Amino acid sequence: MAYNPGINLDLEWVQKTAINLPAVNRRAATLPTKRTVKKAWQAAWLLRAVTCIDLTTLSGDDTFSNVQRLCYKAKHPIRDDLLEAMGMHDAGITVGAVCVYPSRVPDAVKSLKDAGKSYVPIASVATGFPAGQTPLATRIEEIKMAIEMGATEIDIVISRTKALHGDWQEIYDEVSACKKACGEGVHMKTILGTGDLGTLTNVYKASLVAMMAGSDFIKTSTGKEGVNATLPVGLVMVRAIRDYYHKTGYKVGFKPAGGIRSAKDACTWLALMKEELGNDWLNNQLFRIGASSLLTDIERQLYHYVTGRYAAAHQLPMA
C-alpha cells in the first residue's frame, strides 16, 4: 500500500501552478477514444477494476443489514461461476475495501468477519465528512475513534473554505495533523472536494499541498458535491501525483469517487492511470475507485463476456 511520509510545504511550487482548462478538457475528451480494451482484455481489466473498488455506502439510512449485504458482496463481488469460466476463481478477487461512516465501522468489522475467508480493508470517512465544517479537534478525534473501532483506512476531507481563500499553509497543517492521528499503520486518503474548488488550478494546488502533508492517496470528491469525479479533474490530479513522484520519489495513490457507474468508465479510468502514471498505479495499492453501483455494471459486462448474453438485473446478487 502507498505510504507517503510527506515533505515540507513548498509554497513556491504550489503557487507557480497554471492549469489550462480547455486543453485539459481536450485531453480528457480524446483519451477514451485513443485507448480501449476488448474481449479477454476487457474482462481482465474489469476484474482488475473490481479489485480497486472501494465499495461504498454513505447514507443517513445505513443500518447493519445493508452494511452487511455490502460486506458480503465485497468478498464475493463477481458470481463464482463467472469467475470460474474465466479461470479466475482462485485469484482471490475481492473489492479493494468497503467504505462506510465511522458509526458503521463496527457493523463492517462484524460482517466481514462473518463473511469469512479473504481480508478486505475497512475504510471510514472522517473529519466532518462531507463538508469538513467542524472544528479541527473534533475532526482529529473522529479519526482516532474510527481507527479504534476497526477502520484500517481513513478518508478525510480538506477545508474548501481555506482552499478558496488560498490558505494553503493552514490546509497543510490540518492535513498533517490528520496524518499524525492516523499514524503509520492506517492509510490516509485526502478528499479534495474538487467540485467546490472553483478552478482546476486550485485542484492542482490542493493536490500538491495534500501530498506534501503526507496523504497516501488523494481523492476527488465526497460524492456529495455538485460535480464529482470527472476525467478532467482526474487528469489534473494524476499529473500532480506524477510531478510529486518525480520531485520526491514518493508514490501517492489516486481515488476518483462519485459518479463512476459504468464498466466502460472504469476501463477509461484505468487507461488514464496507465497512460499518465504507468502500470505501477494499476492496482489497489495505488488506485481505488469509490463507487456503489459500478460493481453491478461490471458484473453484467463479465456475464456477457462469459455467456454472450446480456444479464437481467435480477440474475446478479445485489449489494
Residue 282 touches another protein, criterion: CB under 8 A: yes
Q: Which span sits near another protein by CB under 8 A: 2-10, 170-178, 188-196, 288-296? A: 188-196
* Known catalytic residue at 16: no
Nearer to another protein, 175 or 282 (CB): 282
Member of 213, 306, 316, 319 binding another protein (CB under 8 A) = 306
Residue 103 touches another protein, criterion: CB under 8 A: no
Q: How many residues bind another protein (CB under 8 A)?
A: 56
Nearer to another protein, 135 or 226 (CB): 226
Residue 48 touches another protein, criterion: CB under 8 A: yes
Residue 314 touches another protein, criterion: CB under 8 A: no
Q: Which span sits near another protein by CB under 8 A: 30-38, 62-70, 129-137, 174-182? A: 30-38
Residue 117 touches another protein, criterion: CB under 8 A: no
Q: Is 132 left (phi over 0), alpha (psi -120 to 50) or beta?
A: left
Neighbours of 120 (CB within 10 A): 21
Neighbours of 40 (CB within 10 A): 10
71-97 core/surface letters (b: 16 or more CB in 10 A; e: else): bbbbbbbbbeebbebbebeeeebbbbb
Q: Which residues bind another protein (CB under 8 A)?
A: 18-27, 30, 33-41, 43-45, 47-48, 81, 85-88, 91, 194-200, 225-227, 230, 232-233, 239, 270, 274-275, 278-279, 282, 305-309
Catalytic residue numbers, as ranges: 155, 219, 255
